[in-house]
């Protein structure tokens, strides 16, 4: 006979991570199947600065049955077509990392290989998403695969606090019980598993499975179970961030902006009701007061709140699932928000847990597989973030000199070596960042392969040039047919014009 099924799930901590887990669990297990309890304390609050996402968030919203237009209104959201990077390759340079594709694969060979043979115009000219972002335009992808707008891809910017509240309403509407309280004690059973938590008012909450969304400290996964942490700060030395919202000064742009600074980088995330701003930096190279002053001086509009300081160590738990505790969000690890992956890693953790949902036996094979999959997910994101730093040509400050010359993970070094020869990228099917993402950052920061794919070089050059010109023209017409981002926000379009 197998072990008993899970009957009680306790989520420790709210915020985006906690309420995302609660919403998915409630959707997966209809009322009465499993008792889901979420404990959060108004005394502790949430970090609430993860306001930019990547396209997989749309799949999660569909899974939860969320009406996107309603969510956009409720959270002050805007649409995100990618990230504009300023001063990363060198001071004065900028490039765009778009969602979606560059051009279209020709004769079964990646588009960028054909472009490398010609380089008659910037590769960004062949990206519908990039050109739409630069023009301040947006439309949802067309369902017609023959329509140019079918090549659109997007994510969302939203107010993280409002998004958590939106998910909370969804989850509680499907039977999740919310308890307000501060946890003061954790009891373990004879296996070392967490048996219950005690609140400051004396209440005890018992569970079979605990999900730790308690933030950087990891109340259950670390403070109780002593899981351990793998420190990545030798590759990603940023250890502080200061965040502040400011008033909007114009129509919101349909993209995030990341501007490299001497001691780190600054984000700008446009929402409908305000703009989110932050400075991620290394405390070895700038003080907290200096970083705060630099951020405030660079705001577009008037600050709307006092700056908030965050301290962190980039890395991950040595195990994401330990005993009967699964860590999500900041309790699981932290990879700085350069490519807006924080919320995605929560999503991946929740979805992976659903695919490996345990019984009370908590068998070793299941937990080991979860840890393997999430380790791979975190490390692939880590390597992509390191790429941005390492591929710089900046030599104007100690930080940039360090990251440009540092040793990098072998997994990333092999990928860069392969690209350097013939512009090739060999990606596993499960990887989050696909070929266009790697191409955008590599080319955007000045990496140029020594040669091109020999198969492409042998193809008919006149035919290739004709195909490239046709693609660029279609992109131009497609962008011209889109409404502005502001107009789409005001009146979400359901049908696209013909092009």
Task: Note the pLDDT of residue 51.
Answer: 87
Backbone angles phi, psi at 224, to 5 degrees: -95, -50
- The separation between CA 444 and the C-alpha centre of its own chain, rounded to angstroms, equals 20
The pLDDT confidence band at residue 317, using thresholds 50, 70 and 90, is very high
Per-residue pLDDT band for 107 (boundaries 50, 70, 90) equals: confident
Instruction: Flag whether pLDDT at 48 surpasses 70.
Output: no
Per-residue pLDDT tens over the stretch 184-219: 999 999 999 999 999 999 999 999 999 999 999 999
SS (H, E, C) the chain: CCCCECCEEEEECCHHHHHHHHHHHHHHCCCCCCEEEEEECCCCCCCCCCCECCCHHHHHHHHCCCCHHHHHHHHCCEEECEEEEECCCCCCCEEEEECCCCCCCECCECHHHHHHHHCCCCHHHHCHHHHHHHHCECCCCCCCCCCHHHHCCCEEECCHHHHHHHHHHHHHHCCCEEEECCEEEEEECCCCCEEEEEECCCCEEECCEEEECCCCCCHHHHHHCCCCEEECCCCCCCCEEEEEEECCCCCCCCCEEEEEECCEEEEEEECCCCEEEEEEECCCCCCHHHHHHHHHHCCCCCECCCCEEEECCCEEECCCEECCEEECHHHCEECCHHHCCHHHHHHHHHHHHHHCCCECCCCHHHHHHHHHHHHHHHHHHHHHHHHHHHCCCCCCCHHHHHHHHCCCCHHHHHHHHHHHHHCCCCCCCCCCCCHHHHHHHHHHCCCCCCCCCHHHHCCCHHHHHHHHHHHHHHHHHHHHCCCEHHHHHHCCCCCCCCC
Q: How far apart, in Å, do the first and last CA atoms of the chain sit?
A: 62
Instruction: Summarize the confidence of residues 227-231 as an average pLDDT.
Output: 98
**pLDDT exceeds cutoff 80 at 380:** yes
What span, in angstroms and rounded, lies between the C-alpha atoms of 452 and 449? Answer: 7
Tell me how far apart the alpha carbons of residues 474 and 478 are, in angstroms, rounded to a whole number.
6
Shortest CA distance to 422 belongs to which of 463, 381, 457, 389?
A: 457
CA distance 170 to 64: 8
CB 463 within 8 A of CB 471: no
For residues 149 and 4, the answer to whether their CB atoms sit within 8 Å is no
pLDDT per residue over 252-283, tens digit each?
A: 999 999 999 999 999 999 999 999 999 999 99
User: What is the band of 46 on the pLDDT scale with cuts at 50, 70, 90?
Assistant: low
Q: In what order do the strands lie in the sheet with 204-206?
A: 183-188, 194-199, 204-206
pLDDT score recorded for residue 497: 47
Average pLDDT, the chain: 95
Tell me the per-residue pLDDT of 333-375, one tens digit each, with 9 for 90 and over: 999 999 999 999 999 999 999 999 999 999 999 999 999 999 9
Confidence of residue 33 (pLDDT cuts 50, 70, 90): confident
Q: Residue 117 and residue 113: Cα distance in Å, rounded? A: 7
Query: Average pLDDT of 297-322?
Result: 96
Q: In this structure, are residues 348 and 356 in contact, taking their beta carbons and an 8 Å threshold?
A: no
209 bridge partner residues: 9
For residue 30, the model assigns a pLDDT of 78
- pLDDT score of 44 more than 70: no
Quick check: 244 and 303 in contact, CB under 8 A?
Answer: yes
Looking at residue 101, its pLDDT comes to 94
Residue 61 has what pLDDT?
94
Nearest residue to 77 via CA among 91, 92, 61, 65: 61
Most distant pair of Cα atoms in the chain: their distance: 78
Q: How far are the Cα atoms of 215, 217, 407 from residue 141, in angstroms, in the given order?
A: 36, 40, 41
Given this model, what pLDDT does residue 119 score?
92
Asked if pLDDT for residue 382 goes beyond 70, the answer is yes
- pLDDT in the model for residue 487: 96
Catalytic residues: 80
What is the CA 80 to chain-centroid distance, rounded? Answer: 12
Write down the pLDDT at residue 45. Answer: 56
> 64, 25, 334: which is closest to 207 by C-alpha?
25
Asked whether the CA dihedral 52, 56, 58, 61 is positive or negative, the reply is negative
pLDDT for the residue numbered 49: 56
- Higher pLDDT: 118 or 48? It is 118
Residue-wise pLDDT for 430-467, tens only, equals: 999 999 999 999 999 999 999 999 999 899 999 999 99
Residue 45 sits at the vertex; the CA angle it makes with 291 and 292, to the nearest 5 degrees, is 10
pLDDT value of residue 395: 97
Query: 294: pLDDT confidence band, cut at 50, 70 and 90?
Result: very high
Distance CA 417, CA 68 (A): 42
């Amino acid at each position: 006979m197998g072990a008993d099924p899970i009957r009680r799930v306790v989520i420790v901590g709210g915020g985006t991570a906690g309420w995302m887990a609660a919403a998915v669990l409630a959707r997966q297990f209809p009322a009465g199947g499993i008792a889901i309890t979420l404990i959060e304390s108004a005394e502790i609050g949430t970090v609430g600065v993860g306001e930019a996402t990547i396209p997989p968030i749309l799949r999660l919203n569909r899974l939860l049955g969320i009406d996107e237009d309603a969510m956009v209104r409720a959270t002050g959201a805007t649409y995100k077509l990618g990230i504009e990077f300023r001063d990363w390759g060198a001071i004065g340079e900028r490039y765009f990392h778009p969602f979606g594709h560059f051009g279209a694969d020709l004769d079964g060979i990646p588009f960028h290989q054909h472009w490398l043979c010609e380089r008659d115009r910037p590769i960004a000219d062949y990206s519908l998403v990039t050109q739409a972002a630069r023009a301040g335009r947006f439309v949802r992808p067309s369902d017609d695969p023959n329509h140019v707008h079918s090549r659109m891809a997007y994510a969302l910017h939203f107010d993280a606090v409002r998004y958590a509240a939106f998910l909370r309403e969804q989850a509680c509407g499907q039977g999740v019980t919310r308890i307000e309280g501060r946890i003061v004690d954790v009891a373990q059973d004879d296996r070392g598993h967490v048996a219950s938590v005690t609140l400051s008012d004396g209440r005890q909450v018992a569970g079979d499975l605990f999900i730790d969304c308690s933030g950087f400290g990891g109340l259950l996964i670390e403070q109780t179970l002593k899981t351990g942490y793998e420190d990545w700060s030798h590759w990603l030395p940023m250890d502080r961030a200061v965040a502040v919202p400011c008033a909007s000064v114009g129509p919101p742009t349909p993209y995030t902006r990341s501007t490299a600074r001497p001691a780190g980088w600054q984000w700008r995330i446009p929402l409908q009701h305000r703009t989110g701003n932050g400075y991620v930096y290394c405390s070895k190279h700038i003080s907290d007061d200096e970083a705060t002053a630099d951020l405030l001086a660079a705001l577009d509009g008037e600050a709307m709140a006092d700056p908030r300081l965050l301290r962190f160590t980039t890395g991950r738990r040595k195990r994401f699932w330990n005993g009967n505790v699964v860590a999500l969000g900041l309790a699981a690890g932290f990879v700085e928000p350069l490519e807006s992956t924080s919320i995605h890693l929560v999503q991946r953790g929740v979805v992976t847990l659903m695919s490996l949902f345990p019984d009370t036996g908590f068998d070793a094979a299941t937990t080991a597989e979860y840890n393997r999959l999430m380790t791979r997910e975190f490390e692939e994101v880590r390597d992509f973030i390191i790429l941005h730093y390492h591929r710089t040509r900046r030599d104007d400050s100690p930080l940039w000199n360090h990251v440009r010359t540092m040793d990098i993970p072998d997994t990333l070094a092999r990928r860069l070596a392969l690209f350097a020869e013939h512009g090739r990228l060999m990606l596993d099917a499960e990887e989050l960042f696909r070929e266009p993402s790697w191409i955008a950052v590599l080319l955007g920061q000045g990496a140029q392969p020594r040669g091109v794919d020999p198969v492409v070089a042998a193809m008919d050059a006149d035919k290739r040039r004709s195909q490239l010109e046709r693609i660029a023209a279609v992109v131009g017409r497609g962008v011209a047919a889109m409404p502005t981002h502001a107009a789409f926000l005001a009146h979400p379009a359901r049908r696209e014009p013909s092009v």
